[in-house]
Amino acid sequence: MVIAKKVSESTITMTELVLPNHTNQLGKLLGGQLMHWIDICAALCASKHNQRVCVTASVDRIDFHHPVNLGDAVTLVASVNRVFNTSMEIGVKVFAETFREGKKVHSNTAYLTFVAVDQNGKPTKAIEAIPETEDEIRRYEEALLRRENRLKNRIRTA
């Protein structure tokens, strides 16, 4: 049984084309459509890392930096930021690219928490993540702070 994997072994890259049914009346990507793609990309990353089904426990935040237009290619890159016990934080970076203009912008950032589950849907120990690069180590450390804030907020609202 695998007890730890490098963060780089579980990264998922997904690309989608923004079509008319993905946009609002202004030709901009619907936030809900983007959230759907983010959840799928993050779920694939968590499942690849843990070699099992992982379910969404929470969406910490999604920051919208730039609008995404009809016809843009949207690339989502998901990676495991940190594993706790049964849960893990997955970070997703979203890039919008206009091929005609050759412009690529970092349009969104999202943090999600997933839980590894067994065949009966019960939480089970997740596989540890080993950060190697400076960026992975930074995200690993920041994930603990975000988790502490999530737990504090959960206690306040309970």
Q: What is the pLDDT of residue 153?
A: 77
* Coil/strand/helix, residue 137: helix
Closest CA to 127 of 81, 70, 85: 85
Phi, psi at 99, each rounded to 5°: -65, -40
Q: What is the pLDDT of residue 157?
A: 60
Q: What is the pLDDT of residue 158?
A: 56
* Structural tokens at position 126: 């997740």
Tell me the Ramachandran region of residue 54: left when phi exceeds 0, alpha when psi lies from -120 to 50, beta otherwise: beta
Q: What is the pLDDT of residue 152?
A: 82
Q: Exposed e or buried b for every residue in 61-92, given b needs 16+ CB within 10 A? A: ebeeeeebeeebebbbbbbbbbbeebbbbbbb
- CB distance 26 to 9 below 8 Å: no
The residues pairing with 133 across neighbouring beta strands, listed in sequence order, are none
The residues pairing with 109 across neighbouring beta strands, listed in sequence order, are 63, 93
Distance CA 70, CA 98 (A): 10
Q: How many helices (H) does the chain have, and how many strands (E)?
A: 2, 7
pLDDT tens for each residue of the chain, 158 residues long: 679 999 999 999 999 999 999 999 999 999 999 999 999 999 999 999 999 999 999 998 788 899 999 999 999 999 999 999 999 999 999 999 999 999 999 999 999 999 999 999 999 999 999 999 999 999 999 999 999 888 887 766 65
Q: Give the tens place of pLDDT for each residue, 99-133.
A: 999 999 999 999 999 999 999 999 999 999 999 99
Distance CA 84, CA 94 (A): 24
Domains in the chain: ranges and CATH? 4-157 (3.10.129.10)
Q: What is the pLDDT of residue 108?
A: 94
pTM of the model: 0.92
